[in-house]
Chains A and B, each alone.
Chain A
Amino acid sequence: MTMEQWVYPSVYVKEDDFREGRVLYTTWQPRLFYAWDRGTAIGRFLAELKQGRIVGRRCRRCRRVVVPPRMFCEHCFRPNDEWVPLADTGTVITFSRCYITWDMRRLEHPQIPAVIAIDGASPGVGFLHHLGEVDPEAVHIGMKVKAVWKPADQREGAITDILYFKPMTE
């Protein structure tokens, strides 16, 4: 069987047809601007990041320590009880080597996003961040990592005040 039976006599639309206005279409650039209130829990979390510290919240009933913090325990449904200073070290729960950008361009050197369980928080509790200063092939689940901070005078109270986590020398 040849492909010819599937080829219809027609005019194909080409990129130039759009560019030169032979095909009509409408575009819209959304103008959406938000300024989210950080609230009590995340507000304190970010303020502490600016000081180079990671903090969580403990629920005395179930004893869980969560980070990023919230002011209530989602399992017990009650206000949780206290701020807990945590280490800036942790363990890789899972990771990926990501070879694409937001707009699907290829990356020669992959980003390495990882979910990191923070030391001092309950097992399995932590947050998403990047890994850096690491051989991509050497990353593994259970790897011990430590935060690499922005210089103090450049921190602004944001999750990006941590540049990335790097392997701890074992």
Chain B
Amino acid sequence: MKREVAIVGIGYAGFRPLTPDLSYKELVFEAATRAYAEAGINPRTDVDSFISVAEDLHEGTSITDEYVPDQLGAVQKPVQTVAGDGIHGLAMAYMQICTGQFDIVVVESHAKASNILHLGHVTAMAMDPVYTRPLGVHPLALAGMEMRRYLDESGLTHEHCAQVVVKNRAHALSNPLASYPAVLEVEDVLNAPPVAEPLTQLEVSQHVDGAIVVVMAAGDVARALTDMPIWVLGIGFANDAFALDSRSWAQAEYARLAGQMAYRMAGIRNPRATIDVAEIDDTFAYKELQHMEALGLCAPGEAGYLVAEGYTSLEGELPVNPSGGSLGVGHLLDASGLARVLEIVWQLRGDAGQRQIPDVEVGLAFGWRGLPTTSGAAIILAN
């Protein structure tokens, strides 16, 4: 059964490199309070189901979903955890609503990255224990290798990637939630210390703590709750081959497939002509370019030129990451995709303040699950 589904409330908390004053539960409570106030609902009586997007090793707690209900108002209600990017959680909520069994579903994701003392060790746990981990290669080297192969096949240059950093951190200047606004030159990025060549330190997004809560509702329920429902036109998710030995290193195959699924559902044939604004995973600078191409927003090998021309800047034809993206706002671990959605919702409502793009009707958000995965999810929203 297909039903109309809309986002009727979205709340956030934190978005700071350190949050020693608040536990993750207190962060989520604050984000949930904002989301429910926006939607005009009481979670104790109005919400049918709750979804948490979390990764046990990021929490340092096994079976973290057991810790979810209190701060969401979900005690004695249906609760489940999705491991993935936040947009995978929205996909799950969408499907639950389509069953007809649920009218209002809440999705939560949060990051307490500052509490993980050595994220590299945690990410290393995602590598094959028998034939990859013993080599002792830092997971960031996978990004360096992928970037090299992508540049080699696309014909783009390191300068193109650096332009993404310059653009996104400049966009962050007009986003009060962003932790890493900066005025940079391409040379600053290229001359930054190398992390895993060709990747430099400024091309790697830095982490922030935060929480995001999204309220989704079925068509008529959404219309009754708000004058400004943000409709889900399409949603999709996909994986490439996981193994390092057989994944496609140059193209983001997972993004292409996830985008395809979402476009098919939304009936979009020409994404570049239809999408007015996009928030796309930029965990690493080259990822924004790779994801743009995979999502069909430009031809292969074109993304770097569009960024350099200003086509994807705030004033451009197709603004990409007007929020500043993960490079400008900060990376929120599993909640990163929901940070992309937050900006798209604000843009579609006309609530984006200084960085509001005029005449926005259709927006795209894409989240990647991060190293070393080939797992991504896309959502297309409209006002």
Among candidates A30, A40, A71, A74, residue contacting B69 with C-beta atoms closer than 8 Å: A74
Binds A, one of B22-30, B197-205, B282-290, B316-324: B22-30
Annotate A121-151 by CB proximity to B: 1 below 8 A, 0 otherwise: 0000000000000000000000000000000
In the complex, how many angstroms separate the beta carbon of B298 from the nearest chain A beta carbon?
40
Q: Contacts A30-B125, A75-B44 given: A39-B26 contact, CB under 8 Å?
A: yes
Q: Contacts A31-B121, A34-B116 given: A76-B22 contact, CB under 8 Å?
A: no
Query: A76–B134 Cα gap in the complex (Å)?
Result: 50
What chain A residues lie within 8 Å of B248 (beta carbons)? none
When C-beta atoms are compared, the residue in chain B nearest to A33 turns out to be: B117
Q: Are B75 and A74 in contact (CB under 8 A)?
A: yes
Q: Are B121 and A41 in contact (CB under 8 A)?
A: no
B271 within 8 A of A: no
**Pairs A-B, 4 closest by C-beta atoms:** A39-B23, A77-B73, A34-B60, A74-B70
What chain B residues lie within 8 Å of A32 (beta carbons)? 57, 60, 118, 121-122, 125
- Give the interface size class of chain A: 20 to 34
A36 within 8 A of B: yes
Pick from B26, B29, B32, B112 the residue with the most CB of A within 10 Å. Answer: B26
Q: Are A26 and B26 in contact (CB under 8 A)?
A: no
When C-beta atoms are compared, the residue in chain A nearest to B58 turns out to be: A34
What chain A residues lie within 8 Å of B25 (beta carbons)? 39, 70
B1 within 8 A of A: no
What are 10 A-B contacts defined by CB distance under 8 Å? Answer: A31-B121, A32-B122, A33-B116, A33-B118, A34-B116, A34-B117, A35-B115, A37-B23, A41-B26, A42-B23
Q: Contacts A26-B134, A71-B29 given: A77-B43 contact, CB under 8 Å?
A: yes
Interface residues of A (CB under 8 A from B): 26, 28, 30-42, 70-72, 74-77
Pick from A33, A37, A40 the residue with the most CB of B within 10 Å. Answer: A37
In the complex, how many angstroms separate the beta carbon of B339 from the nearest chain A beta carbon?
20
Query: A30–B118 Cα gap in the complex (Å)?
Result: 11
Q: Are A31 and B23 in contact (CB under 8 A)?
A: no
Q: Contacts A32-B57, A34-B116, A36-B115 given: A70-B122 contact, CB under 8 Å?
A: no
Interface residues of B (CB under 8 A from A): 19-26, 29, 32, 36, 42-44, 57, 60, 69-71, 73, 75, 112, 114-118, 121-122, 125, 129-130, 133-134
What chain B residues lie within 8 Å of A41 (beta carbons)? 23, 26
> Mostly helix, strand, loop or mixed at chain A's interface?
loop
Q: Are A28 and B129 in contact (CB under 8 A)?
A: yes
Q: Are A36 and B60 in contact (CB under 8 A)?
A: yes
What chain B residues lie within 8 Å of A38 (beta carbons)? 23
In the complex, how many angstroms separate the beta carbon of A146 from the nearest chain B beta carbon?
29
Q: Are B115 and A37 in contact (CB under 8 A)?
A: yes
What chain B residues lie within 8 Å of A70 (beta carbons)? 25, 70-71
What chain B residues lie within 8 Å of A35 (beta carbons)? 115, 117
Query: A40–B23 Cα gap in the complex (Å)?
Result: 7
Q: Are B22 and A40 in contact (CB under 8 A)?
A: yes
Query: A42–B300 Cα gap in the complex (Å)?
Result: 52
In the complex, how many angstroms separate the beta carbon of B325 from the nearest chain A beta carbon?
26
Query: A113–B71 Cα gap in the complex (Å)?
Result: 27
When C-beta atoms are compared, the residue in chain A nearest to B74 turns out to be: A74
When C-beta atoms are compared, the residue in chain B nearest to A72 turns out to be: B29
In the complex, how many angstroms separate the beta carbon of A119 from the nearest chain B beta carbon?
23
Query: A72–B102 Cα gap in the complex (Å)?
Result: 26
What chain B residues lie within 8 Å of A75 (beta carbons)? 44, 75
Q: Are B114 and A37 in contact (CB under 8 A)?
A: yes
What chain B residues lie within 8 Å of A30 (beta carbons)? 121, 125
Q: Contacts A39-B23, A70-B25 given: A77-B42 contact, CB under 8 Å?
A: yes
Q: Are A39 and B122 in contact (CB under 8 A)?
A: no
What chain A residues lie within 8 Å of B29 (beta carbons)? 71-72
Among candidates A33, A40, A76, residue contacting B26 with C-beta atoms closer than 8 Å: A40
Query: A35–B118 Cα gap in the complex (Å)?
Result: 10
Query: A31–B122 Cα gap in the complex (Å)?
Result: 8
When C-beta atoms are compared, the residue in chain A nearest to B57 turns out to be: A32
Q: Are A39 and B116 in contact (CB under 8 A)?
A: no
Query: A32–B70 Cα gap in the complex (Å)?
Result: 26
Query: A77–B19 Cα gap in the complex (Å)?
Result: 22
Query: A77–B25 Cα gap in the complex (Å)?
Result: 13
Q: A37-B19, A77-B44 provided; 20 other pairs, C-beta below 8 A?
A: A26-B129, A26-B130, A26-B134, A28-B129, A28-B134, A31-B118, A32-B121, A32-B122, A34-B116, A35-B117, A36-B115, A37-B20, A37-B22, A39-B22, A40-B23, A41-B23, A74-B70, A74-B71, A77-B42, A77-B43
